[in-house]
Amino acid sequence: MNKFGSKLRELRESKGLLLRQVAAYLETDTAFVSKLERNERKAKREQVLQLAILFESPPNDLLSLWLSDQIYELVNNEEVAVNSLKITLKTIENK
Amino acid sequence: MNKFGSKLRELRESKGLLLRQVAAYLETDTAFVSKLERNERKAKREQVLQLAILFESPPNDLLSLWLSDQIYELVNNEEVAVNSLKITLKTIENK
DNA sequence: ATATATTTGTAAATATTTGACAAGTCAATA
DNA sequence: TATTGACTTGTCAAATATTTACAAATATAT
């Protein structure tokens, strides 16, 4: 769904930061950050890492949500979504 | 990896078809089909369905491999790949 | 009402993907 | 060894998609 964006908003609000402060940190505008939070735009991998630093959050936690959103976006609507995910998991887990 | 392309080649060879015959069926050229088989090009969803008909193979089987390749391509290289896949699975399975 | 924060819309710039073709390799065999 | 047929590789312009920055709209708070 929008796990990454929701987390971002949660972290931002818990720190009492404004969109424009996060935007400045990422060297972009508030519209972009707003869109990140509502999953209307996709963050670059590098931006996820920067945000992890800003929010003192484990990078892999944010990366997992960020990647998961992308996977969801890819497989969502496909009847074979679950099956395909399982195939991929097996493939990866068997190195 | 290249599950879809490998399956395609396997099916094509088992039917004794030439690349150009499959290409004609898909209204494209042999180079494109060759690239599909070697995962150098991505088939359109519609082409997967056409191929399922040509090879009398269950559409969902081919679609699963086709989608799985795309998921793999997306998460491959990411340390958090497995974790992200599991998150996505849970999200989808809980409807 | 004003000021500040956030969201929405969009046009131009960028980037990515596609499709079609030409030229290449390879293997079989005349 | 020349030819043929099957497949692979490389290129590149056209078609698509994505990104970006900005302006405008809306919402929230004082």
- Residue A95 pLDDT greater than 90, yes or no: no
What pLDDT shows up at residue A10?
97
> Which pTM does this prediction carry?
0.95
In the block, residue with structure tokens 């931006």:
A47
Confidence of residue B94 (pLDDT cuts 50, 70, 90): confident
Nearest to B64 among A67, A74, A80 (CB): A80
pLDDT tens readout for residues A34-75: 999 999 999 999 999 999 999 999 999 999 999 999 999 999
Confidence of residue A14 (pLDDT cuts 50, 70, 90): very high
Instruction: Suggest the residue from B48, B64, B65 to mutate for an interface test with chain A (most A CBs closer than 10 A).
Output: B64
The mean per-residue pLDDT over the stretch B10-36 comes to 97
Give the integer Cα–Cα distance in Å for A55 and A65: 15
Q: Is the CB of B38 under 7 A from strand D?
A: yes
Asked if A94 and B78 touch (Cβ cutoff 8 Å), the reply is: no
CB–CB of A74 and B85 under 8 A?
A: no
What CATH fold (topology level) applies to the domain B3-93? 434 Repressor (Amino-terminal Domain) (1.10.260)
* Rounded (to 5) percent helix, strand, coil in chain B: 70, 0, 30
Nearest to A88 among B72, B80, B91 (CB): B72
Domain boundary assignment for chain B: 3-93
Confidence of residue A1 (pLDDT cuts 50, 70, 90): confident
